[in-house]
Structure 1
Amino acid sequence: MFKSVNQQPRRSEERDGMDRGTVGSAQSGRLLVEVREEGLSAVVTPAGELDHHTADLLREPLEDCIERGFARLVVDCSRLEFCDSTGLNVLLGARLKAESVGGGVHLAGMLPVVARVFEITGAEAVFTVHDTLDAALRE
């Protein structure tokens, strides 16, 4: 059984004069990830900003769910405030891994700003998208 986990961004080295370790502070949009089991699904809830600096904080739990035998992943996007192309690639990679073991990735409750990224890129066509988490879990 999964427990709720909050993963904090790891401190990285300073590059280009910017302290990358400050990414993830409350002021700059920390990404917290919660994972729980709901029947045969693993529900992964990222909260905050999914981008180049925080992508591994979501990638690792998604891959861990698949390794634990959860082929059906439901990503509750209702608390995801931002997603860039790196974040999109994390979700696409999880989709491919889940499909390779007979499952899939379902996205639920996307805020308009995140849904727009999927619409612009056409990625909404390769995911099963649900308006709410409850709808995703009922399917």
Structure 2
Amino acid sequence: MSATPSMEEPDRLFVIPAVTGTITVFSLQGDLDLHTAGLLRRAFLTAPAGRLTCVVVDLERVAFVDSSGLSALIDLHRTAKAVSGWLRLAGIPAVLQPVFRITGLDGYFDCYPTVDRALTA
């Protein structure tokens, strides 16, 4: 009898929301992948009304991202754009930068070296 893998592993990703003025910042820590992307989506979609317009996702403490994680970020970007808003990425670690460059997502997203820079752009 084989074990059924858990669809989500919430202890592998922490999503910490914070509000700075009219901007919501989601600081992520851990892996953004098939098993954790749903946590980010839910955090985004359960944010208070009006808080999905201007969003910064802080990736500084993300150790790994796969196609499911990238897809979640793309979905959130589209959701923000649909309400005339924006989503910016901040602090992409050096280990993840090739993933964004190879996929072309470094040109799709507005990327900033720090949260502070993303907030003031």
The two structures share one fold, judged by TM-score above 0.5:
yes
Q: Per-residue deviation at 1:63?
A: 2.1
Q: Cα gap change, 1:38/1:21 in structure 2, threshold over 3 Å: closer, same or farther? A: same
Q: Cα gap change, 1:16/1:116 in structure 2, threshold over 3 Å: closer, same or farther? A: farther
Identity %: 35
Q: Tell me the distance in 1 between the aligned counterparts of 2:19 and 2:8.
A: 31
* Residue matched to 1:102: 84
Q: How many residues align?
A: 120
Is the 8 Å Cα contact of residues 10 and 39 (structure 2) preserved in structure 1?
Answer: no
* Residue matched to 2:42: 60
Higher strand share: 2
Q: Tell me the distance in 2 between the aligned counterparts of 1:112 and 1:23.
A: 25
Query: 1:4-15 alignment to 2 at 5 Å?
Result: none
Normalised TM-score (structure 1): 0.79
Alignment of 1:136 onto 2:118: yes
SS of the residue corresponding to residue 76 of structure 1 reads strand
Select which of 41, 47, 50 maps to 1:69.
50
Q: Cα gap change, 1:83/1:68 in structure 2, threshold over 3 Å: closer, same or farther? A: same
Gaps of 5+ in 1: 1-14
Q: Cα gap change, 1:131/1:24 in structure 2, threshold over 3 Å: closer, same or farther? A: same
Gaps of 5+ in 2: none
Q: RMSD between aligned alpha carbons?
A: 2.0
Normalised TM-score (structure 2): 0.89
Moved over 4 A (4+): 21-25
SS of the residue corresponding to residue 3 of structure 2 reads coil
Q: Tell me the distance in 2 between the aligned counterparts of 1:48 and 1:40.
A: 26
Which structure is higher in RCO with an 8 Å CA cutoff and minimum separation 6?
2
